[in-house]
Structure 1
Amino acid sequence: MDLTIDLVRAFNIEVKWRDARYVPATVEEHLQISTRSGGCYLLSCASFVGMDHIATAESFIWVSSTPRIVCALCTILRLSDDLETFEREQVELHVAPTIGSYMKEHNVSVENACEKIKELIEDTWKDFNHEWLTLANVQPKQLLERIFNLARTMEFMYKHDDKFTNCQNLKDRIHSLFVETFASTY
């Protein structure tokens, strides 16, 4: 299926969830939609563009088939995002986070749900790393590095802050990585 169409369909479902104030009954039900709405499936595919002979037609077919490594990337994004944005999103009308689904599914407190979501992130990283090592002999390393770097970027974007929403917090980091680094070499 076209990844862009899938992304838009996931957005539409989340709008319906938000408007109905629907909380999916399980984390699994939530992730079936919310991992798709994060856009990492599409980003994974787009990251192969311009790789000339390394990214073949078969590579695009593979990454578009939502392999397990990309599913893990999408799950890491969704769960990490929900942990960092949970409090802010409770104040405004927003789609229910996975934390709400975990609370509903297991009848636990917010604190317990957050701890379990952190454990799910760790378990998903284990799955991601297993796939990284398993696919090393099947897919070109340069392609896998793109997906690996997307996962690292997603973790950075949501570690200790929501840097996607609060992008001004990225300014100093970007400056230190790209401006100061190059300025000091000349």
Structure 2
Amino acid sequence: MEDTTEEALIWATSNPKLIVAASTIGRLTNDFAGSEFEQERGHVVSSLDCYMKQHNTSRQNAIKELLKLVESAWKDINEQCLNPTQLPITFLMRVLNLARTMDVIYKDEDRYTNSGGIMKDYIKALLVNKIPIHYKKKHI
């Protein structure tokens, strides 16, 4: 990873807006998708549970309000990726791709814990299925 310089690592550990936004997306979408299942298993309290208790509100209202934070985090990611930076774009893309991955895994349901269905198809498409490559032979 040629673009992982000391400067990039110092930046990454300084709590930059881009990494905070990607972390917010991962944490909140995970909590939306898996909170009911995790409660049944006796897991710790999620951000959703904390919001509901702190604001004395319903699960639906808490999700609605926390989704605003997710939307804001996506805006922060876009802003940070579009602004000039000293860091190589390939380094920033790793953070962006982490947020994208979390969005795919936790969109509408917890596809990490329940990896059948569409996630199984995604994994097959990415790692198992052959990609047909068609080319035309040039006539000389």
* TM-score in terms of structure 2 length: 0.85
Matched with 1:152 is: 100
Q: Which runs of 5+ in 1 are unaligned?
A: 1-50
- Deviation track 1:7-59 (CA, whole Å, cap 9, x = no partner) reads xxxxxxxxxxxxxxxxxxxxxxxxxxxxxxxxxxxxxxxxxxxx12x221111
Find the aligned partners of 2:125 and 2:4 in 1 and give their Cα distance: 31
Q: Which amino acid aligns with 2:81?
A: W
State the partner residue of 1:120.
69
Aligned to 1:99: 48
2:114 to 166, 169, 172: 166
Structure 2: distance between partners of 1:87 and 1:55: 39
- Where do 4+ consecutive residues of structure 1 move more than 4 Å? none
Displacement after TM superposition at 1:77 (Å): 0.4
Offset from partner CA, 1:100-158 (integer Å, 9 cap, x none) = 11112211111111111112211111122222222x33211111111111110111110
Q: Could you tell me which residue of structure 2 aligns to residue 131 of structure 1? A: 80
Separation of aligned partners in 2, 1:181 and 1:145:
26
Q: Which amino acid is 2:121 matched to?
A: D
1:141 to 85, 89, 102: 89
Q: Distance in 2 between matches of 1:119 and 1:107?
A: 18
Out of 110, 130, 139, which is 2:59 matched to? 110
Q: Does the residue aligned with 1:94 lie in a helix, a strand or coil? A: coil
Give, in angstroms, the shift of residue 177 of structure 1: 3.1
How many percent of aligned residue pairs carry the same amino acid?
A: 39
Residue 69 of structure 1 corresponds to which residue in structure 2?
A: 18
Instruction: For residue 67 of structure 1, report the CA deviation from its aligned partner.
Output: 1.2
How far apart in 1 are the matches of 2:85 and 2:111? 34
Larger Rg computed on CA atoms: 2
Let me know the Cα RMSD of the aligned residues. 1.7
Tell me how far apart the structure 2 counterparts of residues 59 and 164 of structure 1 sit (CA, whole Å).
Answer: 29
| CA–CA separation in structure 2 for the residues paired with 1:100 and 1:160 | 18
Q: Which has the higher contact order (CA 8 A, sep 6+)?
A: 2
Distance in 1 between residues matched to 2:107 and 2:6, nearest whole Å = 35
